[in-house]
Chains A and B, each alone.
Chain A
Amino acid sequence: MPPTHTAQSEGPSGYREAVELEFAEATKRYPGADSPAVDGLSLTVPAGEICVFVGPSGCGKTTAMRMVNRMIDISSGDILVGGRSVKDRDVDELRREIGYVIQQIGLFPHRTIADNIATVPRLLGWDRPKINARVEELLDLIGLPQDMSKRYPAQLSGGQRQRVGVARALAADPPLMLMDEPFGAIDPINRERLQNEFLRLQAEIRKTIVFVTHDIDEAIKMGDRIAILQVGGKLAQYATPSEILLHPANEFVEDFVGADRALKRLALLRVSDIELGPSNGGPSIRDTALVRDALSDLLQHGALHGNVVDSGGRTVGGISMEALARLAKA
């Protein structure tokens, strides 16, 4: 058996280890503005986790993200990537090490898909065979057929273009990724697909990711941790999704997560994650369904309990309204 490299997770070519990202009193003040756009932001994103910046427009979430790769200069405070201040780095070198995905995608219309994906590897001076192999690997990773590589962005659908945008950001295997509303311009059905795909991808590649969105549902779904920002660039709460739903730090957070936060909490769990009682019949519910969807099923059938089944259709237990109510209240 060949020696195994335990330091790297398994993947097509073995991924570079993710890095920790730290905001230390990071502040952005624009000349002439009354209040800072980002006000003394301090938080740490552990390596390999998705941190979602969420908040209403004007809360400084995109500004905060863009300070990481110095697309926007830091006025005071600091940001550390893997323990190193971004201010000490050569700006172009820094950016080549950080994956960058924006809502408008920004594929180069005059470059083929393969050339688009190869942008950063070329800047880094990789040789041609290595680049070609990497492009092939990434097309597989994002589930696009190889013959797409010779097409131009205008020949792809919105969802395909978005996948290529992600592949391009991943091309040089950056330890850190910045994603600014990456699925914002995609229709709801495809957005959900892309979100799921991306979470599956992340389970494999384990990057440190800053993900900006204005959509709290997307934040709850995508984030290992969520940073809720309020207007004026102040951090209102930084915690895991369930913590934020269970214990909102203040009224602003409570308002922002919405009146249905008990339901949102149920959406964090799958039926297989919870303790099931004995089955008392009722509509069949798959064990992989979200608890919220199971509740919706029960309500739709006007049933007080459901029959939980596995992939083979075998009953594995039962779920009841009382159990769900207890779960939502917790």
Chain B
Amino acid sequence: MILAQLQIRGEDDAGDSCVADNGFCPSWIADNWERYQDPFLEHLALTLISVAIGFVIAFGLALVAHRRRWLIPPITQITGILYTLPSVALFFLLLPLTGRGKTTAVIALVAYTLLIIFRNVITGLEGVPAEARDAGRGMGLTPRQLLWRVELPLALPAIMAGLRIAVTTTVGLTALVFLAGAGGLGEEIFNDMQFRSNVVVAGGLCVLLAVVLDLLVLAAQKLITPWTRKVAT
């Protein structure tokens, strides 16, 4: 995997003293804005797809482990190992299996979300007040009804908190998947790391994406957990 540094400063920029001095150049940014559009969308798609797949897997694992408590330590350990694995190493490990490209990137990104989401779902379910559970069982809710009508709704704040961490972490990690040939804003940053305007725009878009997605998840949480907004009058 050899990566060549490109010069993205074009011939026609030669006369621009700002570009020549490697400053922060609003005019260059305005002229080259379109260059970032596709990588940005790519970055967004990779993040959302990975978090969505990671959520489904981790949530499923958590539901299974909620019933069979002995599964919690091994699942935590395995997802923990995945979490600590350096991403570059993981790309290389996956290369012979899935080759360069988006599949490799998504598999790696999903691997990093598992621990965060799994832990938060388990923590949320463990935080359900024992008396709500007892009252629910005592009123004749089946175990399944108890899970979906009482336990999971009450675990939502913790689950959504996990989702927020997973989303922001994934936005950051997606900036590295260009190493596996999957594009994204990281590729733009790397294309000309010496050029300040480029790094500021591509990096800034990463941060913006992370913040906006985080706020969206937070807004969704507020929307679906109305009881957490109302406190004693």
Contacts and interface: CB of A to CB of B under 8 A. Distances in A.
B154 interface: yes
B97 interface: no
A107 interface: yes
Contact of B225 (A93, A110, A119): A110
Nearest to B152: A110
B227 A110 contact: yes
Contacts of B145: 123
A110 B154 contact: yes
- Among B135, B145, B153, B231, find the residue whose CB has the most chain A CB atoms closer than 10 A: B135
Contact of A123 (B134, B135, B140): B140
A102 B227 contact: no
A92 B145 CA distance: 11
Nearest to B154: A110
A106 B233 contact: no
Contacts of B131: 102, 104-106
Contacts of B232: 154-156
Contacts of A119: 136, 139, 141
B137 interface: yes
A120 interface: yes
Contacts of B154: 108-110
Interface in B99-113: none
Contacts of A94: 140
Interface in A160-213: 165, 168-169, 178
Contacts of B133: 106
Could you say which interface size class chain A belongs to?
20 to 34
A247 interface: no
A168 B153 CA distance: 19
Given A104-B131, A108-B150, A120 B136 contact: no
B138 interface: yes
Nearest to A93: B140
B141 A92 contact: yes
A141 interface: no
B225 to A, nearest CB: 7
Size range of the interface on B? 20 to 34
Contacts of B141: 92, 119, 123
Nearest to B138: A100
A92 B227 CA distance: 28
A162 to B, nearest CB: 13
Per DSSP, chain B at the interface is helix
Contact of B132 (A71, A108, A169): A108
Contacts of A155: 230-233
Contacts of A156: 232
Of the listed residues B134, B141, B225, B227, the one surrounded by the most CB atoms of chain A closer than 10 A to its CB is B227
Interface in A257-296: none
A153 to B, nearest CB: 8
A69 interface: yes
A95 B138 contact: yes
Interface string B196-233: 00000000000000000000000000000111001111
A106 B150 CA distance: 11
Contacts of B153: 110
Contacts of A102: 131, 134-135, 138
Contacts of A108: 132, 135-136, 150, 154
A154 B232 CA distance: 5
B60 interface: no
9 contacts: A69-B138, A91-B140, A96-B140, A106-B131, A106-B135, A108-B132, A108-B136, A154-B227, A155-B232
Interface of A: 69, 71, 91-96, 100, 102, 104-111, 119-120, 123, 151-152, 154-156, 165, 168-169, 178
- Ranked nearest first, the 10 interchain pairs of A and B with the lowest CB-CB distance are A106-B135, A95-B140, A104-B131, A96-B140, A100-B138, A106-B131, A92-B140, A152-B227, A110-B153, A110-B227
Given A92-B141, A95-B139, 18 more contacts: A71-B134, A71-B137, A95-B138, A96-B140, A102-B131, A102-B134, A102-B135, A104-B129, A104-B130, A106-B135, A108-B136, A110-B150, A110-B156, A152-B227, A154-B227, A156-B232, A168-B139, A169-B139
